[in-house]
Amino acid sequence: MIEVKDLKKEYLEEDTSTQALRGVTFSIKEGEFVSIMGPSGSGKSTLLHILSFLDRPSGGSYKFYDRSIDDMTDQELAHVRNKDMGFVFQSFNLLSRLTVYENVEIPLLYSDIPPVKREKLIEEAIKSVGLEEKLYTEAAKLSGGQKQRVAIARALVTDPNVIFADEPTGNLDSQSGLQVMKILESLHHKGHTVVLVTHETQTAEFANRIIRIKDGLIESEQLITPNYVLRGALK
């Protein structure tokens, strides 16, 4: 699904050049759950932005389903992003005055999906994160954990092939964070590819593979055994 080779990203400010990525190479297969770990400033968020078509690399190559990002216009990138990718952010990015239903509906507003089918998709996405009783509650009245679950439902409503999660537990207490990770794990088991950026080891260990980044380079890759101790905490 995802293949990057010698990926680089350089930011220029006045006379200063910053190398955020300095030659990153790896691939992600469809159906994998991969965590990208690294300290602040390591380049992990820059990498996620490129993988999710929110930015373009300065050098190297990136193929998504064997199609190079270099061969796509900005409009084509936006189309693929809306069709194949779902996003979960640390800051939730909800509209506080809209209800749970209305926030989850946002990715479908410009689609040609009939209203009846759209309603079903929204309700199913909300049910999948256990918030059906909050369907018409304003986002401002939700707890942090509930807001992040709404954000996951919004990411799911288009049935994307891959879900990108950028520090999804960063603004949550430990119990709410575990609940969010259980949902992402469940989505992985249902066939979704999940790419998670985090600096938290316990969060990263929900994945099947951890890619560690430091100073814009891959420091290590590790296949891991599921952490059943953490999973048992929520049973």
CATH number at residue 151: 3.40.50.300
Q: Which domain holds residue 120?
A: 28-59+75-234
User: Which of 199, 110, 194 has its CA nearest to residue 152?
Assistant: 194
Q: Is residue 18 part of a domain?
A: no
Output the pLDDT for position 227. Answer: 55
Q: Is residue 65 part of a domain?
A: no
Q: Is residue 55 part of a domain?
A: yes
Q: Is residue 203 part of a domain?
A: yes
Q: Is residue 4 part of a domain?
A: no
Output the pLDDT for position 232. Answer: 47
> DSSP assignment of the chain, as one string?
-EEEEEEEEEEEETTEEEEEEEEEEEEE-TT-EEEEE--TTSSHHHHHHHHTTSS--SEEEEEETTEEGGGS-HHHHHHHHHHHEEEEETT----TTSBHHHHHHGGGTTS---HHHHHHHHHHHHHHTT-GGGTTSBGGGS-HHHHHHHHHHHHHTT--SEEEEESTTTTS-HHHHHHHHHHHHHHHHTT-EEEEEES-HHHHTTSSEEEEEETTEEEEEEE----HHHHHTT-
Q: Is residue 95 part of a domain?
A: yes
Q: What is the count of structural domains for the chain?
A: 1
Average pLDDT by consecutive 10-residue portion of the chain (235 residues)? Answer: 97 88 97 94 94 95 96 93 92 94 93 90 95 96 96 94 94 92 93 94 93 96 70 44
Q: Which tokens sit at 224?
A: 């891991």
Output the pLDDT for position 13. Answer: 84
Number of Cβ atoms within 10 Å of the Cβ of 79: 13
Q: Each residue of 81-103: b (16+ CB within 10 Å) or e?
A: bbebbbbbbbebebeeebbbbbb
Output the pLDDT for position 61. Answer: 97
Q: Is residue 36 part of a domain?
A: yes
User: Which of 202, 203, 201, 209 has its CA nearest to residue 225?
Assistant: 209
User: Which of 75, 68, 24, 66 has its CA nearest to residue 48?
Assistant: 24
Q: Is residue 35 part of a domain?
A: yes
